[in-house]
Structure 1
Amino acid sequence: MRITYREIIQGIVTLIGVTMLFSCEGNLNEVRALQNPADAPRGIAKGIMLKYTDSGKVVATLKSKKMLDYQNKNFPYREFPDGLDIEFYDEDDKKSTVTADYGIIYDKTGLIDLRGNVVIFTADSTILEGNQLYWDQNQSWVFTDRANQIKFPDGSFNEGMGFDSNQKFDKFNFRTNNGIQNIDESEK
């Protein structure tokens, strides 16, 4: 049996075509996986600064290197994988700050989950530090079940596992704590 030059060329072309077909199928599956709208965020923002206003007055600013917007999910949320910095202004324009390495805001419940080196510095110089902190915007309540430390302007401090408080930090409930409380006896 004699194979002609033409048959060799046809065999090579067929082999190349089949190889390309299978390699394209592999790449096509990878592209489809990247474009899966069920897993992808609706939007990605980098270097953001959001200002929240009430009646034309700035009440809060949020800064973050990156925000992933998952409003396309059944339980919508916004994620801040590279951390966030928030500044709050009260009625007298006094500023309180919140920083964390990671944050996620759940829109339906109004719950904010802050994680990693969470630090809150209030306008009256109260400092709260912890690894995780939840803030319920609807109830104006802050809480955690993790280790935390709170330093008050008068020198008092508490360290413990878990607490909850109103967002003004003037009413606290500690689960376990160890610390020093200064009591002014002249107020009796």
Structure 2
Amino acid sequence: MSSCEEDLTKAGGKQSKNFPSQIINNANIIQRDSGFVTMRAKAPIIEKYELIDSPYTVARKGIDIQFFDKKKPKVPGTIKAKYARIFEYKKFYEAKGNVRITTNEGQKFAMQSIFWDQRKKRIYTRDTVYVTMEDGSTLVGAHGMTAKDDFSEYVFYQNSGDFTTSKLSEKQK
């Protein structure tokens, strides 16, 4: 009599762990803080990779996020992208592919990729950034930008733009 025996502890060490541990189809996620909705996210599919050294969550088929500010709860900021990845332990986020951001102040940003370091409260990109203000003025940052994560301050690199001067002259009077 003979038998085949496999040592599962040895074989398990060599197997790939780079597969999603959770998959959410047609995701509709709502995040709250003390009953107040702070974020809503929608994505066709979200995959969580938790069994690897640097766990992350990915939305390969796009994501649409609304951020709510307690000061302006009816006017959310939005982020839309064709791809997003979140490294939760590092508090680091990236969005790629036709990224569109609208602040709750009405400013519209367009670029191909953007990164958010939540620990440093900084957002940055090296891509060309197009910004349209509520008054219709535009700004182009040809070599990217850095910003506070609430967009209260930002710096553009090699910028140009088209600004209306009527607002400036009203303030100067």
TM-score above 0.5, yes or no: yes
- Does 1:87 find its partner at 2:69? no
Structure 2 counterparts to residues 68-147 of structure 1, below 5 A: 68-91=47-70, 92-93=72-73, 94-147=75-128
**Equivalent residue number for residue 170 of structure 1:** 152
Letter in structure 1 aligned against 2:78: T
**Residue identity (%):** 23
Distance 1:58 1:138 in 2: 21
**Equivalent residue number for residue 26 of structure 1:** none
Distance 1:155 1:88 in 2: 23
Letter in structure 1 aligned against 2:154: F
Distance 1:182 1:138 in 2: 36
SS state at 2:106 partner:
coil
Which structure is larger by alpha-carbon Rg, 1 or 2?
Answer: 1
Q: Which runs of 5+ in 2 are unaligned?
A: 1-10
- Does 1:154 find its partner at 2:126? no
Distance 1:129 1:164 in 2: 14
TM-superposed deviation, 1:72? 1.4
**Residues 85-110 of structure 1: CA distance to partner in whole angstroms, max 9, x if unpaired?**
00011112021111000000011211
**Equivalent residue number for residue 49 of structure 1:** 28
Structure 2 counterparts to residues 24-63 of structure 1, below 5 A: 36-63=15-42
| Count, aligned residues | 154
Distance 1:54 1:139 in 2: 21
**Residues 10-64 of structure 1: CA distance to partner in whole angstroms, max 9, x if unpaired?**
xxxxxxxxxxxxxxxxxxxxxx9xxx45121111111111111111111001111
SS state at 1:41 partner:
coil
TM-superposed deviation, 1:168? 2.5
Higher relative contact order (CA 8 A, sep 6+): 2
SS state at 2:32 partner:
strand
Letter in structure 2 aligned against 1:164: T
Which has more helix, going by share of residues? 1
TM-score, structure 2 length as denominator? 0.82
**Equivalent residue number for residue 180 of structure 1:** 162
Distance 1:60 1:139 in 2: 20
Q: Which runs of 5+ in 1 are unaligned?
A: 1-31
TM-superposed deviation, 1:177? 1.2
TM-superposed deviation, 1:187? 3.9
Which moved further from structure 2: 177-186 or 122-131? Answer: 177-186
SS state at 2:54 partner:
coil
Distance 2:106 2:51 in 1: 39
TM-superposed deviation, 1:154? 2.5
**Equivalent residue number for residue 12 of structure 1:** none
Which has more strand, going by share of residues? 2
